[in-house]
A and B are shown apart, each in its own frame.
Chain A
Amino acid sequence: MSISSGTEDGSHGGTRLNFYRRQQILSYSLILPAALGVLTLILYPLYQVVDISLREGRVMNFARIHDLPLGFGNYVRVLTDPQFWNSVLVSVIYVGGSIAISYAIGLGIALLLNERLPGNRILRTIVLIPWAVPGIVLGIMFLWILDSSYGVFNAMLRDLGILSADFPWFVDRRTALISVMVPTIWKSYPMITLTVLAALQSIPRELYEAANVDGATHIQKFRFITWAGIRGPSMLVLMISALGIFRDVDIVFGTTGGGPAHATETMSLYVYREAFNYFRMGTATAVGTVMIIVALMIGAIFTIFAQRSKFK
């Protein structure tokens, strides 16, 4: 007597395949309602945004949107508006500068916290505090810190003899954008620190020991072990942070409102102004559509970098 796992013609195997297929169908049907819900929540608003952006005329009553003719007038208006291109440039500097400095600070603190120093656990908690403060609160907080008349920063500089008179950090065109970047960086670096720290702690110690035996320099160890280990998570957290800064409006709104004279007006603020100050929902959604494309591009770039990050 022999024990067979199936019939000689393989029909048992076919039955097993059918069983897996049934399981697969069941799995898909179980997730289908949730998937449809998620897709509806993403695709329907996206369709609405694109639809409004293609409607010629002011859209102030969404129930009547389909009465308006279709066209690309809003896109033409946006792309020929110098303020739009100004907002693109401001966004590039604001997002790029904030993210680069946040990463440098976050990486530095993560490397420090990765060492076995006393009080590290408390320090990790303290590092998180800025991340927990809402953007608009942060904006108001820094508005007061950097206030020209009552701000503690000016008072400090005067006490140190660096300034002879109070300086309007948020009003001077040379310093306004940098002043807005300060609270943004302050809010962004904790998440970068924690992500990089987690990545650092997952790197096997043996790799460093082996490198020491091989006589590797500090730079070589950082490049081939540390950086190789943290590159993937870094790209991920940089992507999330960059997209967050790119779309957020609250810190800029709470500090400069986009001024002085559009010097800090990001694309998000441009959208806000078009929609809620000028009632031009069409151009606002046209810029919104452009922003979605830019956000997808940012996501794609970081994803490509992240995929190249595995240890080689």
Chain B
Amino acid sequence: MLNKLLLSAVFGLGVVAAPGLATAQINLTFASWQFQEPGNADWWNAVIDAFEEENPDISIEEIYIPFADYLPQMTIRFASGRAPAVMQLNEQLFGSFAAQGWLAALDDRIEGTDIATDWAAPQKALTWDGATRGVLLSNNAYQFFYNKDMLDKAGLPVPDSWESFKETAAKMTDRDAGIFGLSAVTTEHPTAVEDVHRYAIWAGTNLVKDGHYNLTSPEVIDAMNAYRETVGKNAPLGNNSSVARQLFIDGKTSMLIDGPWVWSWLEKATPEMRPKLVMGRLPFDPQLAPGGLIMNISEGLDDDIEGAAWKFITFANSEEWQRQYLLTTGQPPGRAANVLTPEDEEAHPNLAIASASALDAVPLFPKEQPIQANFTEYSSVLMEAALRLLSTNDPTEEIMEDAQSQLERAIPLD
């Protein structure tokens, strides 16, 4: 009788435990702002489906957070112990997250893989406190977009230098007719900060030089005057990046400097407008990289979950999926070598242009660790300066002195 009871108990336990064993799953939470973006979402869904099929013991739980809310939402998640296992960041957010101790060190996992040897230069910058804490998923550089028809009608050639670019912008502008030489971001928006850096670098200087803020140097003042003159007078004011792009594809502005993803906007232009819109390599050097997207793992995960997270990252960054990434999203991947086949290049010449300029590009933003750790504050101070340059008559010297003293107080570099 006792034996029968024990047998029943063992059998009963087996029935209860068996389904649990059969479905021992690792649930991998993955946060991104791209799950609803056309192109990016298509690629992510395809990668996740393929990964789950190849790894039936791992399921990916997508956590969608709109980009505008990404920083606050992730801050709340980390602060309250509900951080996702894997997350997508852009290079500009990397330092802020790494400085909080939120990102796991990946050197042991990267060692011996092609990430250690075959990745583009920005991969080397994804280190914090002596450890690599991210894998570069994309590596973008700015492209030059222009309306060939508008330039032809004005009898102007396509600019081939920094100086001719500024002159063309001025000559193309007829504000009262609603025609502008340039599309640019001219409102409270992070892209305005990119513009300030671009104008400094293309003028042959930089906002941070030899480990010190350089905002009050005569070279930077000249560069900011050029920004004020070129953008302030030749681009409509009050535009965010979406409106700036829309104005270009509507034929209201003749030039735009933006990322390679604007190609998909060109494809949406009307049939009459589409042949007039051209994307090419920037006609002056250096080519500039504002920072690509990266994939990271949260600090402090269980070994099983961290292992699964790494498996997912390497899967998404395999050569074939990176090729698909470029074909689907139009953004060059983190791999240094060209991932396109000759047939791909023939079918998509824009992708070849974007890939080549990304490989030649130098970083747009300074890499000093205090700036990276406080990038949003750094960015905020410069955004204020950019908006003052565009919307007030305050002297440029005064604006840049204010910005420099704010930065020295808030984010000292020494």
Whether B391 and A260, one on each chain, are in contact in the complex, defined by CB atoms closer than 8 angstroms, is: yes
Whether B100 and A279, one on each chain, are in contact in the complex, defined by CB atoms closer than 8 angstroms, is: yes
* Bound form: Cα–Cα A60–B75 in Å: 8
B363 sits at the interface (CB 8 A): no
Q: Please, which residues of chain B bring their CB within 8 A of the CB of A275?
A: 72, 75
B34 sits at the interface (CB 8 A): no
Whether B79 and A62, one on each chain, are in contact in the complex, defined by CB atoms closer than 8 angstroms, is: yes
* Bound form: Cα–Cα A279–B101 in Å: 13
B160 sits at the interface (CB 8 A): no
* Bound form: Cα–Cα A7–B370 in Å: 86
Binds B, one of A142-150, A191-199, A223-231: A142-150
Whether A165 and B176, one on each chain, are in contact in the complex, defined by CB atoms closer than 8 angstroms, is: yes
Contact pattern, A 144-184, Cβ under 8 Å of B = 1, otherwise 0? 00011110000000000000111011111100000000000
Query: Beyond A61-B79, A148-B237, is A171–B243 a contact (Cβ under 8 Å)?
Result: no
* Bound form: Cα–Cα A272–B68 in Å: 13
B188 sits at the interface (CB 8 A): yes
Interface size class of A (residues with CB under 8 A): 20 to 34
Whether A169 and B383, one on each chain, are in contact in the complex, defined by CB atoms closer than 8 angstroms, is: no
A259 sits at the interface (CB 8 A): yes
A247 sits at the interface (CB 8 A): no
Query: Beyond A166-B178, A171-B237, A259-B188, is A149–B252 a contact (Cβ under 8 Å)?
Result: yes
Q: Please, which residues of chain B bring their CB within 8 A of the CB of A63?
A: 81
Binds A, one of B198-206, B317-325, B372-380: B372-380
Q: Please, which residues of chain A bring their CB within 8 A of the CB of B175?
A: 165
Whether B391 and A173, one on each chain, are in contact in the complex, defined by CB atoms closer than 8 angstroms, is: yes
A258 sits at the interface (CB 8 A): yes
B138 sits at the interface (CB 8 A): no
Q: Which residue of A lies closest to B237 (CB)?
A: A168
Q: Please, which residues of chain B bring their CB within 8 A of the CB of A165?
A: 175-176, 178
B144 sits at the interface (CB 8 A): no
Contact pattern, A 246-288, Cβ under 8 Å of B = 1, otherwise 0? 0000000000111111100000000011011111010000000
Query: Beyond A259-B383, A259-B387, A277-B376, is A166–B72 a contact (Cβ under 8 Å)?
Result: no
Say how far B298's CB is from chain A's closest CB, in angstroms: 13
Contact pattern, B 172-213, Cβ under 8 Å of A = 1, otherwise 0? 000110100000001111000000000000000000000000
B388 sits at the interface (CB 8 A): yes
Whether B247 and A258, one on each chain, are in contact in the complex, defined by CB atoms closer than 8 angstroms, is: no
B401 sits at the interface (CB 8 A): no
Contact pattern, B 235-253, Cβ under 8 Å of A = 1, otherwise 0? 0111100010011000010
Q: Please, which residues of chain B bring their CB within 8 A of the CB of A169?
A: 238
B71 sits at the interface (CB 8 A): yes
Residue in B71, B187, B243, B392 whose beta carbon sits within 8 Å of that of A277 in the complex: B71
Tell me whether chain A's interface is mostly helix, strand or loop, or mixed. loop
Say how far A155's CB is from chain B's closest CB, in angstroms: 10
Say how far A26's CB is from chain B's closest CB, in angstroms: 40
Whether A171 and B380, one on each chain, are in contact in the complex, defined by CB atoms closer than 8 angstroms, is: no
Q: Which residue of A lies closest to B99 (CB)?
A: A279
Contact pattern, A 285-300, Cβ under 8 Å of B = 1, otherwise 0? 0000000000000000
Query: Beyond A60-B100, A261-B391, is A150–B187 a contact (Cβ under 8 Å)?
Result: no
B390 sits at the interface (CB 8 A): yes
Residue in B188, B238, B239 whose beta carbon sits within 8 Å of that of A257 in the complex: B188
Whether A60 and B78, one on each chain, are in contact in the complex, defined by CB atoms closer than 8 angstroms, is: yes
Whether B243 and A149, one on each chain, are in contact in the complex, defined by CB atoms closer than 8 angstroms, is: yes
Query: Beyond A62-B80, A148-B238, A164-B176, is A279–B390 a contact (Cβ under 8 Å)?
Result: no
* Bound form: Cα–Cα A276–B75 in Å: 7
Q: Please, which residues of chain A bring their CB within 8 A of the CB of B252?
A: 149
* Bound form: Cα–Cα A161–B80 in Å: 56
Contact pattern, A 198-221, Cβ under 8 Å of B = 1, otherwise 0? 000000000000000000000000
Q: Please, which residues of chain B bring their CB within 8 A of the CB of A171?
A: 186-187, 237-238, 387, 390-391
B384 sits at the interface (CB 8 A): yes
Whether B380 and A170, one on each chain, are in contact in the complex, defined by CB atoms closer than 8 angstroms, is: no
* Bound form: Cα–Cα A256–B383 in Å: 13
A and B contact pairs by CB, cutoff 8 A, 23 listed:
A60-B79, A61-B79, A62-B79, A63-B81, A147-B243, A148-B236, A148-B239, A149-B243, A149-B247, A150-B246, A165-B175, A169-B238, A170-B187, A171-B238, A173-B392, A260-B391, A261-B391, A262-B384, A272-B72, A276-B71, A278-B376, A279-B96, A279-B100
Besides A62-B80, A172-B237, A172-B391, 20 other A-B contacts (C-beta < 8 A):
A61-B78, A149-B236, A165-B178, A166-B178, A168-B237, A170-B187, A173-B392, A256-B187, A259-B187, A260-B187, A261-B385, A261-B388, A261-B392, A272-B72, A276-B71, A277-B380, A278-B377, A278-B380, A279-B96, A281-B79
The 4 closest A-B pairs by CB, nearest first: A259-B188, A168-B238, A276-B72, A168-B237
B interface residues, Cβ below 8 angstroms from A: 71-72, 75, 78-81, 96, 100, 175-176, 178, 186-189, 236-239, 243, 246-247, 252, 374, 376-377, 380, 383-385, 387-388, 390-392
A interface residues, Cβ below 8 angstroms from B: 59-63, 147-150, 164-166, 168-173, 256-262, 272-273, 275-279, 281
